[in-house]
Amino acid sequence: MCGNVMLVIAFSGLFSVDYVCTLENLALNKPTWQEHPWPEPNSRDVGSENAVDGMYTDRGTGGQCTINADGYYTAEWRVDLGSVVSISYINIFYRTENQNPGPFVNRMAGFSLYISNTTSKNEAHLCYKDQTRGNPSVDQRVNCSMYGRFVIYFNERSQNNNPSYLSQFAYNELCELEVYGCRGSFGDGCQYACPTNCLNGNCNAYTGDCLKCPPGYYGQHCQYECSPGYYGYHCVNKCSKRCSVPYNCHRVTGKCNGGCMSGWAGDTCKECQLGYYGTNCNRCSANCFVSRSCDRSSGQCHGGCQRGWRGSFCNQG
């Protein structure tokens, strides 16, 4: 369990004194999937997403639970937490038909919980395996101190000779599955705050490296500002050589400091001003019908040429 811990951590000047380790339900309203969906999706609201919608006061048929199709020997359900996070514990609220414990304990018996960085159960770590021999609690709190992106609920049955305390087929009738952990921090127990400049405050749950930097920064902890002449995400964009001072722009937006050279326009000086055209912003012909009024791409004069001149660029007398 995680409490409030005051940290004073200096790491390239980007960690601050803070109270971290605030656990939240990381599964709430996240994307879900199940192996064998109910075959008539419009006949009742039993989709896999019911297990992460935050509602489980009605745990009966047609209530607030996910129900998979009958007649299968494996049942798998998973939630995508969006990124690798530090997990502390998992709450499970199983279908009860609003009784205690209800008629479906034998369907829950033998279930397993896996934590994975991929959607594959075969690449996952086993967090918990029910071995109560038919008497699991329909309200579970499973301590599961692991890192991962996907939480997988799995159950299976043999086609022959199942113990009497097991249902014939496998089910994942979850009314809610809550995954408590932390974002904005990393390390065992979420004890370290993510670097200040991490985009949206998110960092790798193992290392503390920022998952992504905001525009204008780079480095594992987004601790470095873009070098002069570069801007944007990861500082890979080069400022325009058409800035009034070549390659001198704002490190976040790329907007040229001091404006553009003559003939160029736009925040990043990549467009031609009126009266100029082409990749080098050449000046439109003075012989256009309206002097120096031409197409910005082709240079062809708008409205033709002044009297005595001809050609697309009005440069033939």
Is the residue at 216 inside a domain? no
Q: Are residues 172 and 31 in the same domain?
A: yes
- Last residue of a domain, which of 162, 182, 202? 182
The pLDDT value recorded for residue 16 is: 39
Residue with tokens 């809550």: 178
The pLDDT value recorded for residue 24 is: 86
Is the residue at 249 inside a domain? no
Lookup: tokens for 238: 């080069």
Mean pLDDT, rounded, for 273-298:
89
Q: Are residues 172 and 302 in the same domain?
A: no
The pLDDT value recorded for residue 113 is: 98
Q: Are residues 45 and 163 in the same domain?
A: yes
Chain-centroid distance of CA 283 in Å reads 47
- What CATH number did the domain enclosing 120 receive? 2.60.120.260
The pLDDT value recorded for residue 41 is: 64
Domain holding 173, by residue range, is 27-182
Mean pLDDT, rounded, for 304-311:
91
Mean pLDDT, rounded, for 192-200:
90
Q: Are 127 and 146 in contact (CB under 8 A)?
A: yes
CA distances (Å), origin 81, targets 114, 150, 202, 249: 13, 6, 13, 38
Degrees to nearest 5, angle at CA 192 with 201 and 5: 110
The pLDDT value recorded for residue 17 is: 36
Is the residue at 21 inside a domain? no
Is the residue at 295 inside a domain? yes
Is the residue at 46 inside a domain? yes
The pLDDT value recorded for residue 4 is: 40
Q: Are residues 305 and 178 in the same domain?
A: no
Residue with tokens 């009266």: 275
Distance CA 124, CA 235 (A): 35
The kind and range of the H/E element at 105 are helix 105-108
Q: Are residues 165 and 56 in the same domain?
A: yes
CA distances (Å), origin 79, targets 48, 116, 206: 9, 10, 20
- Last residue of a domain, which of 159, 182, 205? 182
Distance CA 110, CA 253 (A): 55
Q: Which residues contact 172 (CB under 8 A, 6 or more apart)?
A: 34, 35, 66, 68, 75, 76, 77, 111, 153, 154, 155
The kind and range of the H/E element at 20 are strand 18-20
The pLDDT value recorded for residue 140 is: 96
Question: What does the pLDDT look like over 244-271, one tens digit per residue?
Answer: 999 999 999 999 999 998 888 889 998 8
Q: Are 172 and 112 in contact (CB under 8 A)?
A: no
Q: Are 109 and 134 in contact (CB under 8 A)?
A: yes
Question: What does the pLDDT look like over 38-48, one tens digit per residue?
Answer: 987 665 688 99
16-25, 70-79, 84-93, 278-287: lowest mean pLDDT where? 16-25
Of 135, 62, 58, which Cα lies nearest the Cα of 98?
58
- My answer on whether omega of the bond before 163 falls inside 30° of 0, hence cis, is no
Question: What does the pLDDT look like over 87-116, one tens digit per residue?
Answer: 889 999 999 999 999 999 999 999 999 999
Question: What does the pLDDT look like over 125-176, one tens digit per residue?
Answer: 999 999 998 889 999 999 988 889 999 999 999 998 899 999 999 999 999 9
Is the residue at 65 inside a domain? yes
- Last residue of a domain, which of 182, 198, 228? 182
The total domain count for the chain is 2
| Structure-derived torsion over alpha carbons of residues 242, 247, 251, 254, reported in degrees to the nearest 10 | 20
Lookup: tokens for 215: 């525009």
Question: What does the pLDDT look like over 2-46, one tens digit per residue?
Answer: 444 434 333 333 433 344 456 889 999 999 999 999 987 665 688
**Secondary structure letter of residue 234 according to DSSP:** G
For residue 12, give the amino acid letter: S
Q: Are residues 175 and 33 in the same domain?
A: yes
Is the residue at 235 inside a domain? no
Q: Are 226 and 211 in contact (CB under 8 A)?
A: no
The pLDDT value recorded for residue 67 is: 92
Is the residue at 200 inside a domain? no
**Is residue 315 scored above 80 in pLDDT?**
yes
Q: Are 115 and 142 in contact (CB under 8 A)?
A: no
